[in-house]
Amino acid sequence: MDFIPENQKQEEAFELASQLCNVLNEGVQKKLLDQVGVHNFATNSKLINATVSSKGVYVDTNGISKL
């Protein structure tokens, strides 16, 4: 289901998180970034997340919805 921001902060966070996911996934895909390192960063971030099964990092809509 698509995430619908409920306030300006969520909207801003969602946009930033999307951009961050794009550059990080691009970096991993081009082998310019270490996959494990990016995964670790994502799991510690408020904006993005990653799971073992996920293909790259993704926007942490659950975390953002609490903003």
Partner 1 sequence: MTTDKEFKPQLLYKDESRIKEILKQSDDTSEKLNQALDVATNFIGGDLNDEDKENILLGGFDKAMEMIRAKYQFPDADDDFNLKSMGKDTEPVKKALMSSKSLYRGFEYGTLNGKVTLSGNGKKNIEEGECTYTKNEAQNAAFDLAKRICKNLNEAMSSNFISASEQTPIAQGVKLAKYSNKTKNYVPNVSFLKDIDPFGGIRSSRY
Does the footprint of partner 1 cover residue 20 (CB under 8 A)? yes
Does the footprint of partner 1 cover residue 46 (CB under 8 A)? yes
Q: Toward partner 1, which CB reaches closer, 4 or 23?
A: 23
Does the footprint of partner 1 cover residue 62 (CB under 8 A)? no
Separation between Cα atoms, residue 3 and residue 31, nearest integer Å:
29
Contacts of 50 (CB under 8 A, 6+ apart): 38, 39, 42, 43, 56, 57, 58
Q: Which residues are at the interface with partner 1 (CB under 8 A)?
A: 9, 12-13, 16, 19-20, 23-24, 26-27, 30-34, 36-42, 44-47
